[in-house]
């Protein structure tokens, strides 16, 4: 092993511990943890709102909330889960892992990094205020704020204004973190860490960051124009003043659909790190995987109007074809994952369980997405519970299972001690069963014609049983999350030592201590392949030059 290090950064006087140290930190690891903890707190709030919705829908008749409150519940639930939980959790992981995976001492712009966290946290507070702290009731427009419903005529309260401001802050935060991730990856890699040796997680977050940079500005423009319409008498989206609400839909979905990939790509990266480790094989088709990621990044910007099929003003065949096309690189990734597991010595530790759960759930979400890409079918299923279920199979069954896989996989690296394997298996079982209990019946009830965003339904339509099962599923799912919280809290007391490389990982973060030192590495190993930690820990097997990709076998 070569032990050369680059000159340590000037940060010796960073406060090490205590609340002030955390609140004023510029250390990428602490900012990453702050991002993840804050996002998880938002997840708990968003989950509670979902629980309230499912309690209302468990039976016919109004049990818990009225129609307007229900509208607020699903609006804020969607906003929180998309903009305040899944996407920021990915940013948190990127913050924590990218410098470690490429051998850098920190992110390129640490102060900007801190700023991006505080913009996210502040934006989140505004979003929460928009839902509850308004005298005219919370925002109730649906998460995409379509005018004219979100305009001053139909939503006169301050809820949408606060939501717009909150989303603008979150968007600025995303742009800042995107710039940071891209610059760090392009310019701060360790010697020998060529782009074609980057860990797959890093590749995925780089593409995600670029997607964020191109997709968020149009949406921010739309939000600002909407705010002008609402507060300054503008008519950008008001047909009575010569505006066009369809333009809003274009601008919004130019973010909205890439956002789906902004939400899922980091977790494609997560499970791609996990599957080879627990299959005891190297990743099958590294180059193909990277090219598929790049293809998804590019194609995802050309599919936005499949959300507008039913408006009748977009070219449905074009967007249908583009949407079908994007299934191809996604399918390539599935072959990569299956090919990696094929013939491997698979061990089903908790991160691997969540990774396999991700595959199963996301496959269902993906296949139903291809069904919805067909315009004639979309005309039937648009705005039904089928769509709700499809979306949750990709976002919750995919991203959230990816998040839990990441937590269980990198927790020992971040804190130096393990989570409980036994409790973790329980968490997975409860979440997997609970998730499928919740969302599979929604496919059924959607095909039976139940529209989404309704607070009540008439008896005798065949909707009661699936809705009851779905609501019971939320109880099981919530139990899984509670067991996880218990595990996280008690593991701190147990402090089962993890060691520096508890799983036999292959990317560079496993070559440093757990938790890593202030500047990440006291010495950098020689990087001769895309698996530097593996090469380091199996030097005799790898040889001095490392093992080129083509020579790797199971």
Partner 1 sequence: MKVALRYLWAYAAFGLGLGTFYYVLTEEWVGSIALWFLGVMPLIVALWWTRHGPSAAVRASDDPGADPAASAGTSLGSFPTATAWPVFLVLGVFVTGASLVYGLLLLPVGAVMLVWAIVGLARESRG
Positions 127 through 166 that interact with partner 1 (CB under 8 A): 158, 161-162, 165
Minimum CB distance to partner 1, residue 495 (Å): 27
- Nearer to partner 1 among residue 111 and residue 345 (C-beta): 111
Residue choice 193, 200, 395, 536 for contact with partner 1 (CB under 8 A)? 193
What is the distance between the alpha carbons of residues 554 and 547, in angstroms, rounded to a whole number?
A: 13
C-beta of 214: minimal distance to partner 1 in Å?
5
For partner 1, give the closer residue by CB, 293 or 384.
Answer: 293
Least distance from C-beta 250 to partner 1, angstroms? 4
Site for partner 1 in 310-339 (CB under 8 A): 313-315, 318
Cα 243 to Cα 38, 224, 238, 417: the distances in Å are 38, 15, 5, 58
Which is nearer to partner 1, 302 or 424 (by Cβ)? 302
Contact 387, 452 (CB under 8 A): yes
Q: How far apart are the first and last CA of the chain?
A: 25
> CB–CB of 525/1 below 8 Å?
yes
Cβ-based burial of 489 (10 A; exposed 0-12, middle 13-18, buried ≥19): exposed
Nearest to partner 1 of 191, 499 (CB atom): 191
Using CA atoms, how far apart are residues 404 and 401, in angstroms rounded to an integer? 5
Distance CA 29, CA 33 (A): 6
Select the span of 21-29, 70-78, 384-392, 506-514 touching partner 1 (CB under 8 A). Answer: 21-29
Hey, which residues between 91 and 130 contact partner 1 (CB under 8 A)? 103-106, 110-111, 114-115, 117-119, 121-122, 125-126
Q: How far is CA 325 from the centre of its chain?
A: 22
SS3 readout for 360-422: HHHHHHHHHHHHHHCHHHHHHHCCEHHHHHHHHHHHHHHHHHHHHHHHHHHHHHHHCECCCHH
Task: Write each residue from 59 to 88 as x if it is in contact with partner 1 (CB under 8 A), else as -, in one continuous string.
Answer: ------------------------------
CB of 96 to partner 1, least distance (A): 16
Beta bridge partners of 384: 451
Tell me the closest approach of the beta carbon of residue 84 to partner 1, in angstroms: 15
Among 154, 196, 342, 379, the residue binding partner 1 under the rule CB under 8 A is: 196
Site string for partner 1, 360-379 (x = CB under 8 A): --------------------
Beta-carbon contacts of residue 59 (< 8 Å; ≥ 6 apart) = 464, 467, 468
Query: Which 204-223 positions form the footprint of partner 1 (CB under 8 A)?
Result: 210, 213-214, 218
What is residue 201's three-state secondary structure? helix
**55 lies in the site for partner 1, by CB under 8 A:** no
Task: Indicate the residue among 108 and 430 with the shorter CB distance to partner 1.
Answer: 108
Of the pair 125, 429, the CB lying nearest partner 1 is at: 125
In the complex with partner 1, the residue whose CB is nearer, 34 or 263, is: 34
Biggest distance spanned by C-alpha atoms of the chain: 75
- Closest to partner 1 by CB, 10 vs 458, is 10
For position 247 contacting partner 1 by CB under 8 A, the verdict is yes
Residue whose CB is less far from partner 1, 298 or 429? 298
CA angle, residues 135, 141, 143, in degrees to nearest 5 = 115
Work out the number of other CB atoms within 10 angstroms of the CB of residue 283: 24
- Name which of residues 248 to 267 contact partner 1 (CB under 8 A): 250-251, 254
**Scanning residues 267 to 296, which ones bind partner 1 (CB under 8 A)?**
294
Closest CA to 89 of 41, 122, 46: 41
Name the minimum Å distance from CB 430 to partner 1.
37
Q: How does 431-465 read in b/e, with b if 16+ C-beta sit within 10 Å?
A: bbebbbbbbbbbbbbbeeebebeebebeeeeebbe
Structure tokens at 413: 């690296």
Cβ nearer to partner 1, comparing 86 with 314: 314
Q: 238 to each of 148, 160, 245, how far by Cα in Å? A: 7, 16, 6
Give the range of 19-27, 62-70, 87-95, 410-418 binding partner 1 by CB under 8 A: 19-27
Q: Which residues of 7-18 are buried (b: 16+ CB within 10 A; e: fewer)?
A: eeeeeeeeeeee
Query: At its nearest, how many Å lie between partner 1 and the CB of residue 5?
Result: 6
* Residue of 76, 128, 188, 359 that binds partner 1 (CB under 8 A): 188
How many residues make contact with partner 1 (CB under 8 A)? 79
Residue 267 CB-half CA count within 13 A: 32
Looking at 146-154, 243-251, 403-411, 476-484, which segment touches partner 1 (CB under 8 A)?
A: 243-251
Please report how close the Cβ of residue 64 comes to partner 1 at its closest, in angstroms: 29
**Residue from 41, 298, 377, 488 binding partner 1 (CB under 8 A):** 298
Residue 347 binding partner 1, by CB under 8 A: no
In this structure, are residues 133 and 158 in contact, taking their beta carbons and an 8 Å threshold? no
Tokens (6 digits) for 357 = 């759960």
Provide the token pair at 299: 């194609």
Which stretch in 63-71, 308-316, 419-427, 509-517 sits in contact with partner 1 by CB under 8 A?
308-316
Least Å distance, CB 322 to partner 1, is 9
Distance CA 472, CA 468 (A): 6
Task: Please identify which residue in 69, 301, 325, 513 interacts with partner 1, judged by CB under 8 A.
Answer: 301
| CA atoms of 415 and 395, how far apart (whole Å) | 27
Q: Residues 497 to 536: which contact partner 1 by CB under 8 A?
A: 523-528
């Amino acid at each position: 092993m070569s032990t050369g290090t680059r000159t340590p950064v000037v940060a010796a006087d960073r406060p090490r511990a205590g609340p002030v140290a955390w609140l004023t930190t510029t250390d990428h690891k602490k900012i990453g943890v702050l991002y993840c903890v804050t996002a998880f707190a938002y997840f708990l709030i968003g989950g509670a709102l979902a629980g309230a919705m499912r309690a209302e829908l468990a039976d016919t008749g109004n049990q818990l909330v009225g129609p307007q409150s229900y509208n607020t519940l699903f609006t804020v639930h969607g906003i929180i889960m998309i903009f305040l939980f899944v996407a920021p959790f990915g940013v948190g992981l990127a913050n924590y892992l990218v410098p470690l995976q490429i051998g850098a001492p920190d992110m390129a712009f640490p102060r900007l990094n801190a700023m991006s966290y505080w913009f996210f946290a502040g934006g989140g507070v505004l979003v929460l205020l928009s839902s509850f702290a308004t005298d005219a009731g919370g925002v109730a427009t649906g998460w995409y704020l379509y005018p004219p419903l979100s305009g001053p005529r139909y939503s006169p309260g301050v809820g949408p204004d606060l939501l717009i401001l909150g989303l603008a802050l979150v968007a600025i935060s995303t742009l800042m973190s995107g710039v940071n991730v891209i610059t760090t990856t392009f310019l701060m890699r360790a010697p020998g860490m060529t782009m074609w040796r980057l860990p797959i997680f890093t590749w995925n977050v780089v593409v995600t960051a670029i997607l964020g940079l191109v997709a968020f500005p149009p949406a921010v423009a739309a939000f600002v124009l909407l705010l002008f319409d609402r507060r300054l008498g503008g008519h950008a989206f008001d047909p009575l003043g010569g505006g066009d609400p369809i333009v809003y839909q274009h601008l919004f979905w130019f973010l909205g659909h890439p956002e789906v990939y902004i939400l899922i790509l980091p977790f494609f990266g997560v499970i791609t790190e996990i599957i080879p480790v627990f299959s005891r094989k190297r990743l099958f088709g590294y180059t193909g995987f990277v090219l598929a990621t790049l293809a998804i990044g590019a194609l995802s910007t050309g599919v936005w109007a499949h959300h507008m099929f039913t408006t009748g003003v977009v070219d449905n065949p074009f967007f249908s074809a583009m949407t079908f096309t994007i299934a191809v690189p996604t399918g390539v990734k599935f072959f990569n994952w299956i090919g990696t597991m094929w013939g491997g010595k698979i061990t089903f530790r908790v991160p691997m369980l969540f990774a396999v759960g991700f595959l199963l759930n996301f496959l269902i979400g993906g296949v139903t997405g291809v069904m919805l890409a067909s315009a004639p079918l979309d005309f039937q299923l648009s705005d039904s519970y089928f769509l709700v279920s499809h979306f949750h199979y990709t976002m919750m069954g995919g991203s959230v299972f990816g998040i839990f896989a990441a937590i269980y996989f990198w927790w020992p690296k971040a804190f130096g001690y393990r989570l409980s394997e036994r409790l973790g298996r329980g968490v997975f079982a409860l979440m997997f069963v609970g998730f499928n209990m919740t969302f599979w019946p929604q496919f059924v009830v959607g095909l039976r014609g139940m529209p989404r965003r309704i607070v009540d339904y008439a008896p005798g339509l065949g909707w009661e049983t699936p809705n009851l099962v779905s609501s019971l599923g939320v109880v099981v799912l919530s139990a899984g999350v509670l067991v996880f919280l218990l595990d996280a809290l008690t593991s701190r007391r147990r402090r089962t030592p993890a060691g520096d490389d508890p799983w036999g990982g292959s990317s560079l973060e496993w070559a440093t201590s757990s938790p890593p030192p202030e500047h990440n590495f006291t010495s950098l190993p020689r990087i001769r392949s895309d698996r530097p930690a593996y090469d380091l820990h199996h030097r005799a097997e790898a040889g001095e030059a490392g093992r080129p990709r083509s020579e790797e076998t199971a």
